[in-house]
Amino acid sequence: MKRRSPSETDRSTLSERHCAHGRTGRAAKRVLDVLIAGMLLLALFPVLLIVALVVRLTMGAPVLFRHVRPGLGGKPFALYKFRTMAEPREGQRHQHRFFSDEQRLTRARRCLRKSSLDELPQLTNILRGDMSLVGPRPLLMEYLPRYSTQHGRRHESRPGITGLAQIRGRQGLPFSKRLDLDVWYVDHWSLWLDFKIMLETIPRVLGLDGVVDEQRLDEIDDIGLAADLFSSSGPQRSKPG
């Protein structure tokens, strides 16, 4: 009888554990997502109005930024954020994706991004079923063909507003470490793990832990995910995910 290698045994054990959690665990996660996201939308409604007003007064319309990101299984969905980037001037729209954060952010907009208040509209993404409270952060569609087979497994879970990488270093982590943590989360998911991540997220967001000002992609992209994608304007500054 052929003996399985340790790695094969580990994968088999994880697979069996996922089956044990199966539909019941995932259904419970979805119910909790909807309940908590709904309560947060009601509780934070005044904050949403204030942020929307700030965006409207400082940047005009539209208040929301819509961007297509990969969701569960890599399926595209429309992610919503409060807009923090200035629109390119007339005649520059064809190259808007190459402008750096430094060129397009003001002090007020930086505050929204540092505090993660710009992410609040993603609570509606949770209600729509596109996202979860906890999961790998949705990165860019352009990165999909560049993932290794292992890192591509991060899309076996719905993307989240927060995740393991966000409480283990946030923007201070290189891409390789973030993706490794995402896959670890997929393999070890449980409701208790989600609960712990949500609890740890609160003090880290309030304390602005892991927030890096004017971060360039070449400072964190140690595996070439963004190589050549934004090269036409030099080093790019980014808030991935």
State the 10-residue block means of pLDDT for the chain, 241 residues long.
46 48 83 97 96 89 93 96 70 46 59 84 97 96 94 96 90 89 96 95 75 65 77 49 57
* pLDDT at residue 92, rounded to an integer: 45
* pLDDT at residue 7, rounded to an integer: 47
* pLDDT at residue 88, rounded to an integer: 53
* pLDDT at residue 1, rounded to an integer: 43
* pLDDT at residue 233, rounded to an integer: 46
Global pTM value: 0.79
* pLDDT at residue 123, rounded to an integer: 97
8 Å CB contact between 70 and 76: yes
What is the Cα gyration radius of the chain?
19
Residue type, 48: L
C-alpha–C-alpha distance, residues 16 and 49, integer Å: 46
